Amino acid sequence: MGVSVSLYKLNESGHKRVIFILGVGKMLNDVIIQDLPSSINCEIFEEAQILSYDKYAFLNVMENDFMLSKNIICSLAMKVRRMYRQLKNANGVIRMEKKLAAKLWKLSRDYGIPCDNETVINMNISITYLADLLGSKRETISRALKILSNENLIEYENKKIKVISQEKLSEFFRAP
């Protein structure tokens, strides 16, 4: 499958906001290197195996292994870059169908499987999970999905999303 876990935060109302979807081989809690409590929650999205290690033993290994340390820095840098993009897209003036289109384009790029000139996102994604990804309500996402479907950009059926054209989906969310 390729997709394993979601990292999420709970807002003050107790609603889940998915921050990252991480695939096989990705670090989940690299921020725990600091002596602070974990700032994020993790949930298994699909079947996964999680490797756990003692923080102090890991730090000791990092002291002696430059490539490991570099990979940790790269993992954190990738997450920071993604957070910058999420902040840009969190602006309240961007319409939800454009936010959803951008998220589906990214998911199709990262987890898509080509199928007859279209791309199927290789995940079972509920409308509730999409709402968690975008920090929105289920009903709002349902309306946005309908708009994207009516624009012939996606098809959504039985938790499967087919992107009809990644290029057209990209043009849709980039258009003013």
Supply the pLDDT for residue 7: 84
Residue 36 phi/psi, 5-degree rounding, is -130, 160
Token pair 């002291």 is found at 63
Identify the burial level of 76 via C-beta atoms within 10 angstroms of its C-beta, where 0-12 means exposed, 13-18 middle and 19 or more buried: middle
Indicate whether this model's pTM tops 0.95.
no
Catalogue all structural domains in the chain, each as residue range(s) with its CATH number.
3-89 (no CATH), 96-174 (1.10.10.10)
For each successive 10 residues of the chain (176 residues), what is the average pLDDT? 74 80 79 75 79 87 93 88 74 79 92 91 91 89 95 94 95 88
Tell me the β-bridge partners of 156: 161
Supply the pLDDT for residue 90: 64
Could you tell me the two tokens for 50? 């999680």
Sheet holding 16-23, edge to edge: 16-23, 3-10, 41-44
How far is CA 95 from each of CA 88, 121, 127, 131, rounded to the nearest angstrom? Answer: 13, 22, 17, 14
Question: Cα(35)–Cα(138) distance, rounded to whole angstroms?
Answer: 36
Supply the pLDDT for residue 105: 95
